[in-house]
Structure 1
Amino acid sequence: MRTAEVRAIDQIAMMSPLVNIILYTGLTAVLLLGAQLVNVGMLQTGTILAFLSYFILITNSLLGLNRMFNIYNRAVASIERIREVLTMPIDENQIIPEDASSVGESDSSVPEIEFKNVSFSYLGVKNDLENISFVLYPGETLGIMGPTGSGKSTLIRLLLRQYDVQEGEILIRGRDIRTIKPEALSNLFGIVFQNDFLFGGTVRKNVDFGRGLSDELIGEATEHAQASTFLAEKEGGLDFALASKGVNLSGGEKQRLLLSRALAGDPEILILDDASSALDFRTDAKLRRALRDHYSATTSIIIAQRVSSIRHADQIIFMENGKISAMGDHDTVMRESQKYREIAKMQMGEWHDDAEAIA
């Protein structure tokens, strides 16, 4: 794919300047030579102007042909990329077995999510995740923290089966996720990624997301996600019209609507990947309280950069270089991880400022 794209870019980069050089060199030559001939009386000014008019017509036509050539090159490159995708060999690991089934009901005695010695590499050279193991029971919350590139989002993508593990296994309710029907697996999750999208339309349609949810469910979700406060100030409330990508909202308002969308489906497993980074500490604290009060039966995985967002989690994982460097509750990770402890101390002042809201 990369080869076709580079070849197209090279051809465009070569042809466009070449055509422009030829055309504008010709135009300059006509002006200089014409001025000299008019000066010695061999040509009239009108003849030069007429010639320039014809030359400009020809120039515009050639520029149009150049644009068509550029479009053609891009199209050829796109066709080659599509062909490579269509002819790509099937990954046997991605084949759904004939006996694939649903996940069954949640059982408090069976782990809701279990990672067993999971390792994974995108390029097959160096492990991006290495020997990841943890157990999460129904209704528990797992907090994940770590520097950029430590493998936090990769862990989530493996859980969603966007990629398959290369070593170890991931179990949901005791079943390997590779033996679960894709639709049954996806129906378990409510997910908010940091860069999720909002489309042009009403708030109601964005939260509903084509699921045919009632106004009552949508209203409850926006209230629990702390979106009802700012929606009350918007003209139309749930019928307030969003611009494409939600550009007429602030970052925090966008995140609250995305949280509303996830909560409206009453998911059995809630995944928040840095989904409250744009919220102020007090709003974030109110959100976490609402999650504890109204979604206590929901199993949650929260990736965050704020210690305050995960400090009340049943388990906290601190990741570095694709590995778990510390795991346990807040106090345990404070003892075991120096980096987590440093982050916590830097944010401690903000915790005290909002201690009453966070409690």
Structure 2
Amino acid sequence: IGATGAGKSTIIRLLMRYYDVSEGSVKIDGVDIRDYATSDLRAKFGVVFQNDTLFKDTIRENIRLGRNLTDEQLLEAARRAQALEFIEEQGGLDAPVAIKGANLSGGQKQRLLLARALAGDPDILLLDDSSSALDYRTDSKLREEIRLHCADATKIIIAQRISSIMHAEKIMVLENGNVIGMGTHEELMETCPLYREIGESQIGEGLAKEVHA
């Protein structure tokens, strides 16, 4: 979590090796990502970027994205992403998607992109502000599905809402490209003024300080 321009999306792009670090290294399972074949590295990830793209095609192909996935896998991913209901309303997997998803609402686009990310059961799930257009109830259901069905995946979530990340095992607070806080929600409420300010402004002073199971 952090303000716009703090460096949150940069971390995701470094992980996927869209560009290389200028010093040091990025490692996955102890292996420098520069030692992976690009295709093998990218196959580890399910990702939703902040400004991700939908293509002029069917809902099926927008979720499948050229991978060898069955309709059952696509529909299960859509269910987890809270997208199944609107997909059925649109006419199912064969329903058309306009250029950049122009025929869908903001929330529908995000849920379709989330279904794409979840469909391949990735080792690492990267979500870059991917639920900002969802209402709190849908966002809560989505987080529960990810918790239940992506238990073995590493999940890296960039969010504007503290409610989307407050249950994380570790939260990183960024400011101007620097890490200014690291810990659980409860720890950061005590030790990181910026995080506490965000929490109190979004969910109220009392609620922000509660310990959530």
TM-score, reference length from structure 2: 0.93
Aligned position for 1:152: 8
Aligned position for 2:72: 216
Aligned position for 1:178: 34
Aligned pairs for 1:1-359 (under 5 A) are 145-234=1-90, 236-348=91-203
Distance 2:35 2:120 in 1: 24
Distance 2:118 2:13 in 1: 20
Distance 1:242 1:175 in 2: 39
Distance 1:258 1:154 in 2: 20
Structure with more helix by fraction = 1
Distance 1:341 1:177 in 2: 34
How far is 1:254 from its partner? Answer: 0.0
SS at match of 1:318: strand
Distance 2:50 2:22 in 1: 26
SS at match of 1:302: strand
How far is 1:179 from its partner? Answer: 1.5
Gaps of 5+ in 2: none
How far is 1:187 from its partner? Answer: 0.9
Gaps of 5+ in 1: 1-144, 353-357
Percent identity, aligned pairs only?
56
Distance 1:327 1:243 in 2: 41
How far is 1:233 from its partner? Answer: 2.0
Of the two structures, which has the highest relative contact order with CA contacts closer than 8 Å and spacing of 6 or more?
2
Q: How many residues align?
A: 208
Letter in 2 for 1:338: P
Aligned position for 1:3: none
How far is 1:283 from its partner? Answer: 0.5
Structure 1: 4+ residue segments shifted above 6 A = none
Q: Deviations over 1:211-249 (max 9, x none)?
A: 131011001000000001222322x22221111111010
Letter in 1 for 2:164: S
Distance 1:340 1:209 in 2: 37
Distance 2:162 2:41 in 1: 30
Q: How big is the alpha-carbon RMSD for the aligned residues of Structure 1 and Structure 2?
A: 1.5
Letter in 1 for 2:169: D
Distance 1:196 1:210 in 2: 16
Distance 1:155 1:262 in 2: 18
SS at match of 1:289: helix
How far is 1:339 from its partner? Answer: 1.7
How far is 1:259 from its partner? Answer: 0.4
